[in-house]
Amino acid sequence: MVPSKVYDVLVNVPATPACTATPCPTPALPIFARDLALSGNSSVRDVGMLAYISVNNAPGAGVTPGTAGSVFAAAQANQDTYSALVAGQPFTVSDPAKGVIANDINVYGVKLPTSPTNGTSDSFTYCANGTVTAGVCSSGITATVTLGASTLNSTLIAANLSYTSTMATYLKIPSPGLLAGGSDSNNLPFTVSAAGTTTPVTFTVVNPGTPILASITPASGLRRTAAAANPVAVVLTGSNFTAGSTVNVVAPANGLTVTGVTPVSPTQINATFNTTTTAAIGPRSITLTTPGGTNGTMTYTVLGADAHVDLSDLSPSRAGAAVLVSLFGSGLTGTTAVTVSGGGITVGPITVVGDTQINTIFTISAGAAGTARNVSVTAPGGTSNTVAFTVTIPATPTLASITPPTGLRGTAVPVTLTGTNFIVGETTVNVSGTGVTVSGVTTATAIFTITSTAAATARNVAVTAAGAAAASNAVPLHWLFQ
């Protein structure tokens, strides 16, 4: 025992009445280290007891020398059998209480004379409490361990598996791969082996196809405010949608972001459009990207918090023929239509100047009624109020004189026409008969080109103003012979 260490000694009182057995067991003194827990009983190892002190050469307490179970019994190695080997798998006894010395008596260590071999059936001999030299056990205490194939009856479960790739040229199956759905009722390792060569099958890599984005619903939403986040749940429809799809805002995004992109089917994706409080009011271009490519574009419009459409004025408010019209108001960003009541007016292309102005062209037919019309616009915020636009019919022109009133054949004669209700740029001069063409018409002048074969007769000249109900009166024109 270690010097200078304090030990506890347990003294067993001799049995009463006096012992009559032969030989008669006499007390033994078990010794414990004070810094360890007390022994669980008088003979269990590794629970704090260090040794026994024999009194007058007495054996262990109440135990005849050499008797099995005695702490002073002779060491004995017993045979072991393990029927637990599985082909190709390591065999491990991880619990020392179930190792090869679990059923031995007073064996504290073992050595192997020779190493075991691999297989599903094997045996080996170990040397107890000794050393091995040239295959000989110094203690002479040996036992044989028999290893056999596992006798467990397992229930195996294998699941059908399917794999989907989001790329046209690559498929990765992570570990445990094909064993992901398999299990063994005894928790034995699961392996896969082919029974033989399989019949070849065809595996085709298919390009998912370029996506087609057909619509976004709704196509507009309110901008975020300090009081409300205003996220907009949108549905995108089209074709060739797949897992891994992304919805993109074409730069500049100006405060619009997309989250929660969820492919529902090959023809539908759900997403959430989010804005900042400073997001620019107006349209954005949206595209869709899948493993098959990128396609689009559709328009989504960010609206102001007070998203409605008002018209306050248009200029000009009266016109005939074709005219460039400017419409003023609010909420005009994203305007899709300008509507004019009545008939005879066609609305041309719409140009959005800003949230307060749009420009377009009203083309007024010759037969359009000269009345006031109601004009409204349709924008993401709805349909506006109406403002008035009046179609005016020009007065009938009158022709008072032509100077000079005559001209020579084979010459071009500049003439001056006087009268009323001429319209700048929209006045035509008509000459009866043949052999005279008119060009360079301004408000009061024109050029008459007379052919050399023109008949030398009086002609009637009239003036027509665009949109007027009728042409002017006629004034005679005479040709002179050369």
Secondary structure string (H, E, C) spanning 37-58: CCCCCCCCCCCCEEEEEECCCC
- Average pLDDT (119-138) is 82
Q: What is the pLDDT of residue 327?
A: 86
The domain boundary residue, chosen from 132, 162, 192: 132
235: in domain:
yes
Q: What is the pLDDT of residue 19?
A: 60
- Average pLDDT (82-108) is 75
The residue ranking higher by pLDDT, 100 or 92, is 100
- Average pLDDT (229-243) is 90
* Span 329-369, pLDDT tens digits: 877 877 888 998 888 888 889 998 887 888 988 888 877 78
Q: What is the pLDDT of residue 16?
A: 47
Q: What is the pLDDT of residue 412?
A: 82
Domain that holds residue 362: 310-391
Q: Which of 451, 463, 450, 456 is nearest to 401 (CA)?
A: 463
The domain boundary residue, chosen from 391, 417, 439: 391
Residue 135 has pLDDT above 50, yes or no: yes
* Span 304-328, pLDDT tens digits: 755 555 666 666 654 556 788 888 8
The token pair that represents 165 in the structure block: 């790739």
Residue 123 has pLDDT above 50, yes or no: yes
Same structural domain, 447 and 467: yes
Same structural domain, 316 and 247: no
Q: What is the pLDDT of residue 223?
A: 83
pLDDT band at 43 (very low <50, low <70, confident <90, very high): very low
191: in domain:
no
Same structural domain, 224 and 296: yes
11: in domain:
no
3-state SS track over 333-370: CCCCEEEECCCCEEECCCEEEECCEEEEEEEECCCCCC
4: in domain:
no
Same structural domain, 298 and 219: yes
64: in domain:
no
Q: What is the pLDDT of residue 316?
A: 60
Pick the range with the lowest mean pLDDT from 68-72, 112-116, 237-241, 456-460. Answer: 68-72
Pick the range with the lowest mean pLDDT from 54-63, 135-144, 388-397. Answer: 54-63
- Average pLDDT (384-409) is 79
We report the CATH number of the domain holding residue 328 as 2.60.40.10
Same structural domain, 299 and 328: no
Q: What is the pLDDT of residue 12?
A: 54
Pairwise CA distance, residues 375 & 342, whole Å: 10
Q: Which of 89, 133, 104 is nearest to 45 (CA)?
A: 104
Same structural domain, 280 and 346: no
Same structural domain, 216 and 297: yes
371: in domain:
yes
Same structural domain, 318 and 261: no
Query: How many distinct structural domains can be found in the chain?
Result: 4
Residue 265 has pLDDT above 80, yes or no: yes
391: helix, strand or coil:
strand
Average pLDDT, the chain: 74
Residue 39 has pLDDT above 50, yes or no: no
Same structural domain, 352 and 385: yes
Same structural domain, 297 and 323: no
Same structural domain, 218 and 297: yes
Residue 292: Cβ within 10 Å count:
17
On whether the pTM is more than 0.75, the answer is: no
Across the strands, what pairs with 301? 220, 283
Pairwise CA distance, residues 216 & 206, whole Å: 28
The domain boundary residue, chosen from 391, 415, 445: 391
116: in domain:
yes
Q: What is the pLDDT of residue 458?
A: 78
Same structural domain, 440 and 411: yes
Residue 44 has pLDDT above 50, yes or no: no
Residues 378/424, Cβ–Cβ less than 8 Å: no
